């Protein structure tokens, strides 16, 4: 007990009474809300461009949400149900074990109300087992492994908390690649063969395994001349490129890349060795605004798939890219959003709308379920397109896995989220959109300098 | 544990306690707050923590407390004993530069049983940590913890096809733990996992047995010193685990007077694959171990396995694994006494070999 005349118990009773008063006043309505900060927990590899870009994107979104304005300057309700929104970040470090500990930290130590993030599929796979225990809504915004939503399908009650507003999972990325190969590389560039050039990682296994079958299923005559899956610590690509060139002798085509973790080294060596095959497909690292500097400018003609580029995918896309560049409150040197930054921004507005439709914050299991039910009804036009989630039991959406549903994965396809193919062109290495036609910014597909003329 | 003379136990406990006590903790004016179902100052532990001032003690009466306790200040949390006090929901110590003293209770039903972060200096003693969803005790963020008289058992979750999670004790993020007089058994992953520059000194009368993967796994430039520890009965999975001690990816181990027995694969494996680094790239670097005065018997594979068939050294590293082994008894193992891969190096002297069917030393 305290030595003062005012005993601790009396003091605590007073505090308790005051607390009860505050709680009862809290029932009066939204005008007295706004005292609790709703906290979004972001788990990303903070040392990478992709972690920085995602954080910047969310800080931009939060500044707009707390100010009550959307990307087009229209008025929206402030905060989350009137409560200010804030962000806390933990480092997932590109590793499964660290990702697991990052989400633990966000929920247990930092008391995040919602979770978002990851870039590498290995991170998502490492942290997935925590989802049934932490029971917090998690918006996956970077990793493409289909395992996550297959888990939602097979064990809904434990994994219903996971939603992926993007990127499309690997099966749908494969579809996007197949359409690009058929409608652009084959029809417009007269490719008849390609070498699949892939880092050996979890996210692209479905792509390299399924490519020959899906090309055939999509009516493409392009042949897969060789499949190369190289170890991510490969130092010297010389023999690999020799094999690829050998496999493409007498054929027209190039290297169909599926690179997310390793783009810098293979791209520089491709350039330095003047490999006589164009580089097209997925090369995520090129979205790092520092890539031209890091590679010494050796990115001209490289083509990559991404969720969105600075082109009119929706009325919000170009304003978002411009606002991102102008937002200097965090990492001003990060001037262009990577795909996961685009998705993170959309994800937060999707979450906000679901919370507002539900009318609750996720402070109890029942309220969390209400928000999940509203998230499942999402129909939101964001920067990357019109975003809906696949439903439970909705099968036949992927020709490669017709018997599999992918609940809570972003709906892929024309009219929804398709992604775009961009190519770095000119001395300024401007990202021009090649495909799909409806959003293209150029008709010109350039070859690397040593193949020009 | 009971067979040790009382005087020696007192010396050991005193040493451990003193090594873990925060030197700057000012207890002047500290208060004791009681938590009881009835008749105490509080009925919830968390309420007592909220009301406490730094340096206060929270004394918990016998009973079951269904709550997650979050400690963000320097306090002592003391229960009436692990059989009498059960905290169902876990304990999170999350602040910066905290000094905490925890003990006298069982912790179950949390994510991690006890989660220590934020450069905390802590003493954890006389606890049972069991049936938590992930790690029994997790120590991160350059925290320093002395842990003794603990039973850490049956923590973790297995939900195939996902990777299982949950070791008895996880040490990472440059954290340091000293451990004695404890048992870590039947946890889903390892008895003890060290990663990301974790550091452990484990000594006398500690038993690490029958955990799901390895007894002690040392990865990511972590260091471990094991003295007088018994490590046994690790079965592992179809292709990994099952070693008494596993050291890889820049890990370093000093193993002295340790008994390693009845593990499915090797008593000690130095070198191998720890898991993916950033972007999924294999994380490998030279692993080093010094093994002395230890007993390595009746393991299913090699007594000591140096190097691996799975990986090769990173460019710039001469070898994958580097081991010194002196004055050990290595007998009755399923394959070789000491097996050495071509990209590994061993300096072995004065070891006593017998009954290893693959030979005393083989490549």
Tens of pLDDT along B11-57? 555 454 444 444 334 444 689 999 999 999 999 999 999 999 999 99
Cβ–Cβ under 8 Å, residues A301 and A424:
yes
- A122:B68 CB<8 A: no
Cβ pairs A/B, distance under 8 A: 112
Q: Between A264-272 and A238-247, two packed helices, what is the crossing angle to 10 degrees?
A: 70
Residue partners of A98: CB distance under 8 A and separation at least 6: A91, A92, A123, A126, B172, B196
Cβ–Cβ under 8 Å, residues B271 and B311:
yes
**Does any domain span residue B35?**
no
- A94:B279 CB<8 A: yes
- A108:B70 CB<8 A: yes
pLDDT at res. B277? 54
pLDDT at res. B22? 42
Among residues A368, A387, A406, which one ends one of the domains? A387
Cβ–Cβ under 8 Å, residues A127 and A92:
yes
CA-CA distance, B320 to A309, in Å (whole number)?
44
Q: Are residues A186 and A252 in the same domain?
A: yes
Torsion angle of the four alpha carbons A56, A58, A62, A68, in this order, in degrees rounded to the nearest 10 = 100
Q: Are residues A273 and A329 in the same domain?
A: no
- B68:A108 CB<8 A: yes
Alpha helices in chain B (DSSP H): 6-20, 45-51
Q: Are residues A423 and A292 in the same domain?
A: yes
**Does any domain span residue A22?**
no
Minimal Cα distance from B133: which residue of A?
A133
**Chain A residues whose beta carbon lies within 8 Å of the beta carbon of residue B275:** 95-97
Burial environment of residue A2 by CB neighbours within 10 A (0 to 12, 13 to 18, 19 or more) = exposed
Burial B181-192 (b: 16+ CB within 10 A, else e): bbbbbbbbbbbb
Pairwise pLDDT comparison (B8 vs A223), residue with the higher score:
A223
**Does any domain span residue A136?**
yes
**Does any domain span residue B44?**
no
**Does any domain span residue A397?**
no
Residue A271 vs residues A35, A259, A314, B115, B300: alpha-carbon distances, Å: 56, 16, 35, 49, 51
CA-CA distance, B142 to B98, in Å (whole number)?
12
**Does any domain span residue A393?**
no
**Chain A residues whose beta carbon lies within 8 Å of the beta carbon of residue B133:** 130, 133
Model confidence at A313: pLDDT above 70: yes
CA-CA distance, B153 to B139, in Å (whole number)?
17
- A8:B51 CB<8 A: yes
pLDDT at res. B316? 53
Among partner residues A45, A121, A129, which is closest to B278 by beta-carbon distance? A45
**Does any domain span residue B51?**
no
* Candidate ranges A121-125, A287-291, B349-353; pick with highest mean pLDDT: B349-353
Among partner residues A129, A155, A233, which is closest to B282 by beta-carbon distance? A233
CA-CA distance, A427 to B87, in Å (whole number)?
64
Q: Are residues A285 and A329 in the same domain?
A: no
**Vertex B242 angle, CA B241 and B245, to 5°:** 85
Q: Looking only at Cα atoms, what is the longest distance across chain B?
A: 69
**Chain A residues whose beta carbon lies within 8 Å of the beta carbon of residue B118:** 109
**Does any domain span residue A406?**
no
Q: Are residues A179 and A301 in the same domain?
A: yes
Residue A112 vs residues A37, A116, B97: alpha-carbon distances, Å: 10, 10, 22
pLDDT at res. B256? 97
> Per the structure, how many domains does chain B have?
1
Q: Are residues A214 and A225 in the same domain?
A: yes
Burial environment of residue A229 by CB neighbours within 10 A (0 to 12, 13 to 18, 19 or more) = middle
Reduced to 3 states (helix: H, G, I; strand: E, B; else coil), residue B70 is: strand
Interface test with A, best of B137, B279, B281, B311 (most A CBs within 10 A): B279
**Does any domain span residue A376?**
yes
**Chain A residues whose beta carbon lies within 8 Å of the beta carbon of residue B163:** 96, 125-126, 129
**For the whole model, what pTM was predicted?**
0.85
Q: In what helix (H) or strand (E) does residue B129 lie, and over which residues does it extend? A: strand B121-130
**Does any domain span residue A262?**
yes
User: Min CA distance, B280 vs chain A (Å)?
Assistant: 6
pLDDT at res. B69? 96
Tell whether A262 is within 8 A of chain B (Cβ): yes
CA-CA distance, A426 to A447, in Å (whole number)?
11
Give the CB-side neighbour count of residue B134, counting CA atoms within 13 A: 29
Q: Are residues A229 and A244 in the same domain?
A: yes
Q: Are residues A283 and A431 in the same domain?
A: yes
Tell whether A92 is within 8 A of chain B (Cβ): no
Q: Between A339-358 and A365-376, two packed helices, what is the crossing angle to 10 degrees?
A: 120
pLDDT at res. B295? 98
Tell whether A19 is within 8 A of chain B (Cβ): no
**Does any domain span residue B47?**
no
- A133:B51 CB<8 A: no
CA-CA distance, B258 to B268, in Å (whole number)?
11
**Does any domain span residue A235?**
yes
- A8:B41 CB<8 A: yes
- A104:B314 CB<8 A: no
CA-CA distance, B115 to B126, in Å (whole number)?
16
Q: Are residues A287 and A351 in the same domain?
A: no
Model confidence at A137: pLDDT above 90: yes
Give the CB-side neighbour count of residue A403, counting CA atoms within 13 A: 1
**pLDDT band at residue A70, thresholds of 50, 70 and 90?**
very high
ipTM: 0.78
Among partner residues A12, A104, A260, which is closest to B111 by beta-carbon distance? A104
**Chain B residues whose beta carbon lies within 8 Å of the beta carbon of residue A126:** 163
Q: In what helix (H) or strand (E) does residue B98 lie, and over which residues does it extend? A: none
Q: Looking only at Cα atoms, what is the longest distance across chain A?
A: 96
The pairing of beta strand B199-202 with beta strand B176-180: parallel
- B280:A130 CB<8 A: no
**Does any domain span residue B53?**
no
Burial B244-283 (b: 16+ CB within 10 A, else e): bbbbbbbbbbbbbebbbbbbbbbbbbbbbebbbbbbbbbb
- B280:A45 CB<8 A: no
Among partner residues B117, B165, B280, which is closest to A232 by beta-carbon distance? B280
- CATH assignment of the domain containing B321: 2.160.20.10
CA-CA distance, A25 to A14, in Å (whole number)?
17
Handedness of CA B159, B161, B166, B172 (dihedral sign): negative
> Per the structure, how many domains does chain A have?
2
Pairwise pLDDT comparison (A23 vs B60), residue with the higher score:
B60
Cβ–Cβ under 8 Å, residues B193 and B171:
yes
User: Min CA distance, B15 vs chain A (Å)?
Assistant: 31
Model confidence at A231: pLDDT above 50: yes
CA-CA distance, B98 to B304, in Å (whole number)?
41
pLDDT at res. A122? 86
Q: What is the mean pLDDT of residues A339-351?
A: 97
**Does any domain span residue B70?**
yes
pLDDT digits 0-9 by tens, B118-162: 899 999 999 999 999 999 999 999 999 999 999 999 999 999 889
Cβ–Cβ under 8 Å, residues B167 and B189:
yes
**Chain A residues whose beta carbon lies within 8 Å of the beta carbon of residue B113:** none
**Chain B residues whose beta carbon lies within 8 Å of the beta carbon of residue A103:** none
Q: What is the 3-state secondary structure (H, E, C) of B207-245?
A: EEECCCCCCEEECCCCEEEEECEEEECCCCCCCCCCCCE
User: Min CA distance, B158 vs chain A (Å)?
Assistant: 8
Length of chain A: 453
**Chain A residues whose beta carbon lies within 8 Å of the beta carbon of residue B31:** 1-2, 8
Q: Are residues A138 and A280 in the same domain?
A: no
**pLDDT band at residue A292, thresholds of 50, 70 and 90?**
confident
**Does any domain span residue B316?**
yes
Residue partners of A217: CB distance under 8 A and separation at least 6: A399
Reduced to 3 states (helix: H, G, I; strand: E, B; else coil), residue B60 is: strand
Q: Which residues of B touch A (CB under 8 A)?
A: 31, 41, 51, 68, 70, 90, 92, 94, 111-112, 115, 117-118, 133-134, 138, 140, 157, 159, 161-165, 172, 195-196, 275-283, 314-315
Q: Are residues A358 and A229 in the same domain?
A: no
- B278:A128 CB<8 A: no
Residue B314 vs residues B11, B31, B276, B282, B317: alpha-carbon distances, Å: 45, 56, 14, 10, 6
- A261:B133 CB<8 A: no
pLDDT at res. B282? 56
- B275:A97 CB<8 A: yes
* Owning domain of residue B355: 6-29+58-362
Residue A68 vs residues A83, A250, A342, A353: alpha-carbon distances, Å: 12, 60, 20, 13
Tens of pLDDT along chain B (363 residues) come to: 444 455 555 455 545 444 444 433 444 468 999 999 999 999 999 999 999 999 999 999 999 999 999 999 999 999 999 999 999 999 999 888 999 999 999 999 999 999 999 899 999 999 999 999 999 999 999 999 999 999 999 999 999 889 899 999 999 999 999 999 999 999 999 999 999 899 999 988 899 999 999 999 999 899 999 999 999 999 998 888 999 999 998 899 999 999 999 999 999 999 887 765 554 455 567 899 999 999 999 999 999 999 876 555 455 555 689 999 999 999 999 999 999 988 789 999 999 999 999 999 998
Among residues A387, A403, A431, which one ends one of the domains? A387
Specify the range with the lowest mean pLDDT, choosing from A17-26, A188-197, A317-326, B86-95.
A17-26
**Vertex B23 angle, CA B20 and B24, to 5°:** 135
- CATH assignment of the domain containing A367: 3.40.50.2300
Model confidence at A24: pLDDT above 70: no
* Owning domain of residue A147: 33-167+315-387
**Does any domain span residue B40?**
no
Q: Are residues A151 and A184 in the same domain?
A: no
**Chain A residues whose beta carbon lies within 8 Å of the beta carbon of residue B213:** none
- B115:A45 CB<8 A: no
pLDDT at res. A23? 38
């Amino acid at each position: 007990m305290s030595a003062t005349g005012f005993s601790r118990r009396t003091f605590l009773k007073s505090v308790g009474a005051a607390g009860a008063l505050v709680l009862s006043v809290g029932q009066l309505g939204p005008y007295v809300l706004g005292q609790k900060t709703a906290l979004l927990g972001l788990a990303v590899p903070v040392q990478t461009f992709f972690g920085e870009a995602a954080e910047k994107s969310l800080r931009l979104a939060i500044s707009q949400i707390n100010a009550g304005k959307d990307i087009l300057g229209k008025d929206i309700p402030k905060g989350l149900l009137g409560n200010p929104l804030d962000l806390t970040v933990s480092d997932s470090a590109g590793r499964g074990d660290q990702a697991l500990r990052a989400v633990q930290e966000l929920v247990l130590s930092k008391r995040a109300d919602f979770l978002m993030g990851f870039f590498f599929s290995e991170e998502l796979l490492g942290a997935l087992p925590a989802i049934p225990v932490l029971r917090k809504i998690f918006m996956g915004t970077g990793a493409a492994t289909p395992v996550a939503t297959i888990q939602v399908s097979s064990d809904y009650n434990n994994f219903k908390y996971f939603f992926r507003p993007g990127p499309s999972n690997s099966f749908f990325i494969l579809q996007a690649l197949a359409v690009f190969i058929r409608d652009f590389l084959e029809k417009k560039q007269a490719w008849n063969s390609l070498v699949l050039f892939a880092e050996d990682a979890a996210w692209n296994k479905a792509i390299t395994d399924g490519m020959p079958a899906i090309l055939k299923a999509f009516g493409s005559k392009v042949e897969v001349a060789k499949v190369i899956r190289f170890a991510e610590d490969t130092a010297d690509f010389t023999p690999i490129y020799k094999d690829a060139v050998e496999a493409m002798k007498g054929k027209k085509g190039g290297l169909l890349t599926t690179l997310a973790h390793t783009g810098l080294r293979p791209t520089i060596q491709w350039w330095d060795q003047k490999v006589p095959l164009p580089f097209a497909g997925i090369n995520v690292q090129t979205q790092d605004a520092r890539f031209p500097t890091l590679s010494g400018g050796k990115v001209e003609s490289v083509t990559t798939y991404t969720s969105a580029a600075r082109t009119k995918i929706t009325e919000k896309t170009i304003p978002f890219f411009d606002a991102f560049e102008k937002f200097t409150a965090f990492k001003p040197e990060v001037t262009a959003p990577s795909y996961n930054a685009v998705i993170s921004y959309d994800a937060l507005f999707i979450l906000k709308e679901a919370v507002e439709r539900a009318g609750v914050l996720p402070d109890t299991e029942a309220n969390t379920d209400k928000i999940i039910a509203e998230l499942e009804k999402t129909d939101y036009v964001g920067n990357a397109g019109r975003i809906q989630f696949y439903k439970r039991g909705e099968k036949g959406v992927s020709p490669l896995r017709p018997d599999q549903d992918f609940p809570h994965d972003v709906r892929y396809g024309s009219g929804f989220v398709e992604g775009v193919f961009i190519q770095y062109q000119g001395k300024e290495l401007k990202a021009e959109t090649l495909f799909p036609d409806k959003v293209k910014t150029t008709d010109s597909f350039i070859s690397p300098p040593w193949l020009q003329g | 544990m009971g067979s040790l003379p009382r005087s020696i136990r007192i010396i050991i406990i005193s040493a451990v306690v003193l090594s873990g006590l925060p030197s700057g903790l000012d207890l002047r004016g500290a208060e004791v707050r009681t938590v009881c179902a009835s008749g105490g100052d509080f009925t919830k532990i968390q309420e007592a923590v909220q009301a406490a001032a730094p340096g206060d003690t929270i004394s918990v009466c016998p009973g079951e407390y269904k709550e997650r306790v979050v400690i963000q200040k320097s306090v002592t949390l003391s229960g009436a004993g692990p059989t009498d006090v059960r905290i169902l929901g876990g304990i999170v110590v999350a602040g910066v530069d905290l000094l905490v003293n925890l003990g006298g209770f069982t912790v179950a039903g949390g994510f991690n049983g006890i989660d220590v972060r934020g450069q905390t200096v802590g003493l954890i003693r006389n606890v049972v940590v069991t049936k938590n969803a992930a790690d029994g005790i997790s120590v991160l963020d350059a925290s320093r913890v002395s842990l003794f008289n603990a039973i850490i058992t049956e923590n973790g979750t297995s939900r195939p096809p996902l990777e299982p999670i949950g070791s008895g004790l996880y040490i990472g993020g440059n954290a340091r733990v000293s451990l004695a007089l404890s048992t870590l058994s039947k946890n889903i992953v390892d008895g003890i996992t060290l990663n990301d520059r974790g550091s452990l000194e484990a000594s006398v009368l500690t038993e690490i047995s029958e955990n799901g993967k390895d007894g002690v796994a040392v990865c990511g430039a972590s260091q471990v010193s094991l003295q007088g520890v018994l490590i046994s009965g690790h079965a592992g999975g179809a292709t990994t685990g099952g070693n008494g001690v596993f050291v890889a990816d820049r890990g370093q181990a000093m193993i002295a007077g340790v008994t390693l027995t009845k593990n499915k694969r090797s008593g000690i494996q130095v070198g191998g694959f720890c898991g993916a680094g950033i972007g999924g790239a294999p994380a490998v670097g030279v692993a080093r171990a010094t093994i002395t005065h230890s007993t390595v018997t009746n393991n299913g594979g090699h007594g000591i396995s140096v190097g691996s068939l799975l990986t090769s050294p990173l460019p710039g590293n001469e070898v994958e694994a580097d081991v010194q082994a002196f004055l050990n008894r290595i007998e009755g193992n399923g394959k070789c006494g000491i097996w050495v891969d071509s990209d590994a190096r061993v300096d072995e002297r004065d070891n006593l070999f017998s009954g290893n069917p693959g030979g005393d030393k083989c490549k």
